Structure 1
Amino acid sequence: MTETVCVAVPRKGRPLEAVLERLASGAGVHALADDVSSTLRYEKAVTKGSQQPDRDVYERLADYSDLDDPTAPEYTLLRDDRDGKPRRIVFDSVTIETDDVDVRLVGREEPFRSLRTHEFALGFDSADLVLEEVVSLRPEGLDSLADVNARIDPRESDVRVVTGLGDTVYHTLMAKPELLPAGAELDREFVTSYEGDLCISPRYERLVEAVLGTDALENLEFTYPSADDAEEEAAIADAGLGVYLTVTGSTARDYGLVLGEHLFPSETVLMENPTEADGPTGLVKELLTEQELETALQV
């Protein structure tokens, strides 16, 4: 009988799509990956009010989950955190059969924490969460996934990052141009010498501390977007200097901001709890990492 290895994954969003894309290439399940991704995008649109379904949520849920097919994806209902707390259909699980081992993706609200509590040997989550929870703060900052494992206190967690999936957006420095002296670069060195406010999202405070390093923060005061700020970039423009996630930076430029150094990649990562790993786990890890990436790490 083929062994089944359970892998914790997010229930929705960009990280789950990155996992499905990796498995589509590694295990040849392109149709399955497309089906799950398109279903969840549609359900997100329903939750946001941009799609008006002709069936209620329970009818759609029953239609999506084929309980007679053991390899079909299953979905479940959660309360969304948007206004009104609407029900939202999210990913629950699916089993993917391969020649050597079956991979069962299991949806979790917080996959990283599921590995920390030893429920899984393998899982996917955002690299941001690792920095926010277990990476130690030091005087010097870090700027790549390759630095992360060395910063995880073994007394805090057994989990280690294996590789990134390449679905990268960046925590990027942004500033009003008049803040920069002539010829100065908007980079870590500038931040270290700067005195004043640094606008960030409240949830990223510890991440920014880890990325910039505590020495760079000695003369900085964190400020945060207010409830009146429609965009984080607007709050950064008011503060003069800030850090926020960006892909193209078009919104930042709309507010008169210049983009500086990419401080750290916000990326979905494969993680392992080595204390729970066994032979079949190694086969799955090989399947998930056989496409070489520049972000591959050693654990």
Structure 2
Amino acid sequence: MTETVRVAVPRKGRPLEAVLERFATTDEAAAVADEITSTLRFEKSVTKGHTHPDHDVYERLAEYSDLTHSAAPEYTLLRDDREGMPRRIVFDSVELEFDEVTIHLVGREEPFRALRTHEFGLGFDSADLVLEEVVKLRPDGIGSIADINARIDPMDTDVRVVSGLGDTVYHTLMADPEILPPKSDLDRDFVADYAGDLCISPRYERLVEAVLGTRCLDEVEFVYPDEGPEEEASIAETGLGVYLTMTGSTARDFGLVLGEHLFPSETVLMENVAEATEAAEAVKEIVAGPELETALRI
């Protein structure tokens, strides 16, 4: 009989899709992953007002969650933070069968914190949260997933990053070209010599401090985007900023120059090393195979 390992995962969005894709290594698991992804994308469209289903949210929830089938995914309701706080159907749990182990994916609003409190031994969450909460600030910055564990104080938490999943967008420097000297590069060295405002999202203040390093920020003042317009518009008005980019097309639409990719915003597999088991090792091997460039060995 295979052992069951509980793994904390996000309830919705790109990070959950990245997790499901990583586990879709069998036909059965791939079918379940596709079902969950399509269901949640439909519900996201409903929440945004782009789709108007015939059945109400409770009827759809009952239809999605087939409790008579042990391998069927389950869903639950949460209040969305959009205007009016509509109810949103999100992922709750599913069991996936593999030769070595049964993996029970359990949805959590904050998987990283569930690992910190030893509720789970394994979990997935955004690398951004690790930087925002436990990575120590130092004069020199941090540039990769592989650098994270060295910045975690073992007295603060038992959680360590095992690997990234490759669903990468980047925290990227961007600037009005008029502030750049001729033939200069928009990189960390430029910020270190810069004095003035740097536009960032308020939630990423500590992340940006960790990524750039405190030495770069001696003469920098953080400012934040106005509510309403695109963040890139506020960065263009400020002159210099850091924001998430995939293609950078919106930044270019506002006349911004894209600079250094400072840090990958990526879903990561994390382990509470105090809760390590042999079965958990099997899960890590499924997720972080040798072909994954961002895999870490801890």
State the distance in 2 between where 1:205 and 1:298 align: 29
- The answer for unaligned runs of 5 or more in structure 2 is none
Report whether the alignment pairs 1:154 with 2:181: no
Opposite residue 94 of structure 2, the aligned amino acid is V
Q: Residue 282 of structure 1: CA displacement?
A: 1.1
Aligned to 1:256: 255
State the distance in 1 between where 2:192 and 2:4 align: 50
State the distance in 2 between where 1:282 and 1:41 align: 31
SS of 2:25 mapped into structure 1: helix
Aligned to 1:225: 225
Identity, % of aligned pairs?
72
Aligned to 2:180: 180
Aligned length: 298
- The answer for unaligned runs of 5 or more in structure 1 is none
State the distance in 1 between where 2:28 and 2:161 align: 24
Opposite residue 262 of structure 1, the aligned amino acid is H
SS of 1:90 mapped into structure 2: strand
Aligned to 2:274: 275
Q: Residue 27 of structure 1: CA displacement?
A: 7.7
State the distance in 1 between where 2:247 and 2:99 align: 41
Contact 2:289–2:295, Cα closer than 8 Å, also in 1: no
Task: State how 1:81-160 maps to structure 2 within 5 Å.
Answer: 81-160=81-160
Opposite residue 188 of structure 2, the aligned amino acid is R
Contact 1:26–1:288, Cα closer than 8 Å, also in 2: no
Opposite residue 38 of structure 1, the aligned amino acid is S
Report whether the alignment pairs 1:7 with 2:7: yes
Q: TM-score, normalised on structure 1?
A: 0.98
Contact 1:174–1:242, Cα closer than 8 Å, also in 2: yes
SS of 1:46 mapped into structure 2: helix
State the distance in 2 between where 1:164 and 1:26 align: 21
Query: What does the per-residue CA deviation read over 1:129-149, in whole Å, with 9 as the maximum and x for residues that have no partner?
Result: 000000000000010011000
Q: Residue 87 of structure 1: CA displacement?
A: 0.3
Q: Residue 298 of structure 1: CA displacement?
A: 1.9
Opposite residue 261 of structure 1, the aligned amino acid is E
1:291–1:298 CA distance, 2 compared to 1 (3 A): closer
Q: Residue 25 of structure 1: CA displacement?
A: 2.8
State the distance in 2 between where 1:142 and 1:100 align: 36
State the distance in 2 between where 1:291 and 1:65 align: 35
SS of 2:234 mapped into structure 1: helix
State the distance in 1 between where 2:60 and 2:79 align: 16
State the distance in 2 between where 1:209 and 1:163 align: 23
Q: Residue 292 of structure 1: CA displacement?
A: 2.0
State the distance in 2 between where 1:118 and 1:27 align: 32
Aligned to 2:297: 298
Opposite residue 58 of structure 1, the aligned amino acid is Y
1:174–1:26 CA distance, 2 compared to 1 (3 A): farther
SS of 2:95 mapped into structure 1: strand
Q: Cα RMSD between the aligned structures?
A: 1.0
Q: Which is worse superposed, 92-101 or 132-141?
A: 92-101
Aligned to 1:235: 234
State the distance in 2 between where 1:226 and 1:156 align: 35
Report whether the alignment pairs 1:247 with 2:222: no
State the distance in 1 between where 2:134 and 2:247 align: 30
Opposite residue 201 of structure 1, the aligned amino acid is S
Aligned to 2:286: 287
SS of 1:29 mapped into structure 2: helix
Report whether the alignment pairs 1:51 with 2:51: yes
Q: Residue 26 of structure 1: CA displacement?
A: 6.6
Query: What does the per-residue CA deviation read over 1:188-234, in whole Å, with 9 as the maximum and x for residues that have no partner?
Result: 1100001100000000000000000000000100000122x410001
SS of 2:163 mapped into structure 1: strand
Contact 1:137–1:209, Cα closer than 8 Å, also in 2: yes
Q: Residue 284 of structure 1: CA displacement?
A: 1.2
Contact 1:179–1:240, Cα closer than 8 Å, also in 2: yes
Q: Residue 2 of structure 1: CA displacement?
A: 2.2
Opposite residue 144 of structure 1, the aligned amino acid is S
State the distance in 2 between where 1:239 and 1:215 align: 21
Q: Residue 247 of structure 1: CA displacement?
A: 0.5
State the distance in 2 between where 1:298 and 1:279 align: 16
Query: What does the per-residue CA deviation read over 1:241-271, in whole Å, with 9 as the maximum and x for residues that have no partner?
Result: 0000000111101111000000000000000
Opposite residue 93 of structure 2, the aligned amino acid is S
Q: Residue 156 of structure 1: CA displacement?
A: 1.2
Opposite residue 247 of structure 1, the aligned amino acid is M
Q: TM-score, normalised on structure 2?
A: 0.98
Moved over 2 A (4+): 25-28
